[in-house]
Amino acid sequence: MDRERLYEKLDIESPEEFQYYESFEALMEDEEHIEEELIREILAVTDADLLSEHIANFFDAFASNVPDDETELTIIVDTFRNNILSASSAELTDEDLNQLVNEIYKFRKWYAIDHNATDEIKSEEISVRDARYELAAAKLLGDTVSIDFGRALTSGPDAYSVRLRDILND
């Protein structure tokens, strides 16, 4: 995706306008491949506190649609959340920014791009994002849905990473 198309999807004209939750959500939800450099350009000028708030709100909304019996999926989503939040500190160094972009990139691939879930009723491979929407819609409409998150569970992050300076500052 090129810069112009990305800005259009995020409803911004420049990286400095990337301040609203809706723009952050659009970045996380888009199923098209977005180059890491384009993500870096936007996040480099975004207020770190505001970004952390958007990250927390996004993952809170995600968690509200995960079925109670999907404990492993909840753990994986929490790991993504923690990795992304850990990288988005108030003092965003170049190394932190690279880690943040990398973590968001990995999450987007796992969540919106790769087909890591199976809609067992329709017998089709879907993204975790689409599975999340199907679960939310079924909850609202009282429909029956059956999602297998098997591949999502094996393709998520291996562990929660913590920066050494965060440990030392605590």
Evaluate whether 70 touches 36 at the Cβ level (below 8 Å).
no
pLDDT at 158: 61
What lies within 8 Å, CB to CB, of 101 at 6+ separation is 36, 39, 40, 43
pTM above 0.75, yes or no: yes
At 50 the pLDDT is: 93
- 73: CB partners within 8 A, 6+ apart: 66, 149, 152, 153
What is the model's pLDDT at position 127?
96
| Per-residue confidence in pLDDT tens, the chain, 170 aa | 999 999 999 999 999 999 999 999 999 999 999 999 999 999 999 988 899 999 999 999 998 878 788 889 999 999 999 999 988 876 778 888 999 999 999 999 999 999 999 999 999 999 999 999 998 898 889 999 999 999 998 887 764 444 434 433 44
User: CA angle at residue 110 from 104 to 113, to 5 degrees?
Assistant: 95
**What does the pLDDT read at residue 159?**
44
Structure tokens at 79: 């790991």
pLDDT by residue (tens digit) across 105-125?
999 999 999 999 999 999 999
Q: What is the pLDDT of residue 64?
A: 84
Domain spans of the chain, in order of start: 3-169
Which stretches within 13-70 are classed as H helix? Answer: 21-29, 36-43, 48-63
Backbone angles phi, psi at 27, to 5 degrees: -60, -45
State residue 15's pLDDT score. 96
User: Using an 8 Å Cβ cutoff, are 124 and 147 in contact?
Assistant: no
